[in-house]
Amino acid sequence: MAPDNRTKKVGLIVGSLREHSFNRMIAAAIPELEESIAFESISLAELPLYNEDLDHGDGPEPVRRFREAIARVDGIMIVSPEYNSGIPGVLKNALDWASTPGKTAALRGKPTGLVGATPGVKGTILSQQQIRQTLEAIRAHVLPFEKMYISQVMDKVDAERRLLTDETTRKYLKRYVQRFSLWIDQVQTLD
């Protein structure tokens, strides 16, 4: 059934394990920007390092829970930093776990959106390129054309209250999420 007759569910994955992560602050702002969607956080913290020897059946318990959390939502939004001009290792590890087994992989065919925040000036462009490349290899449906880069993030949040306060960023993020919601509808028609 197409999800437009009911509340859409979107999983939020943060590509940083840091407690005071800026990307976690951005992810936390998303649900209040688009109240028609039910968002839930999907944590990477418990996932073991990917090992093909462990990847049989449902896999280790944290992997089973992670894959199940992805399977039960209509789309995934990844909010991630950039490390050394690329994808953070914890996120790549998680995407590898969600890329198997074969045609029933949790991320395969899943509508996916990308957001990234950095204190730097280039807005996680390079990291997002690599995340997109990985998701395309998995055959997830990454929202095309639209990009959501947040640079100099420390000036856009109230770090103490952990709030996204910059109005322009809030406006663009809301628009990105709305387009992602439409993308979920479009992907349904591909199935």
Ligand X SMILES: Cc1cc2nc3c(=O)[nH]c(=O)nc-3n(C[C@H](O)[C@H](O)[C@H](O)COP(=O)(O)O)c2cc1C
Nearest approach, Cβ of 178 to ligand X (angstroms)?
23
- CB hemisphere CA count around 72 (13 angstroms): 10
Decide if residue 18 touches ligand X (CB under 6 A). Answer: yes
Decide if residue 21 touches ligand X (CB under 6 A). Answer: yes
Q: Which of residues 69-88 bind ligand X (CB under 6 A)?
A: 81-85
Decide if residue 22 touches ligand X (CB under 6 A). Answer: yes
Q: Which is nearer to ligand X, 9 or 92 (CB)?
A: 92
Pick from 16, 100, 128, 169 the residue near ligand X by CB under 6 A. 16
Q: Which is nearer to ligand X, 48 or 119 (CB)?
A: 119
Residue by residue, DSSP assigns 109-173 as: T-EEEEEEE-SSSSTTHHHHHHHHHHHHHHT-EEPPS---EE-SGGGTEETTTTEE--HHHHHHH
Kindly write out the interface string for residues 113-152 of this chain, putting x where it contacts ligand X by CB under 6 A and - elsewhere.
Answer: -----xxx-x------------------------------
User: Can you give the binding site for ligand X, defined by CB under 6 A?
Assistant: 16, 18, 21-23, 81-85, 118-120, 122
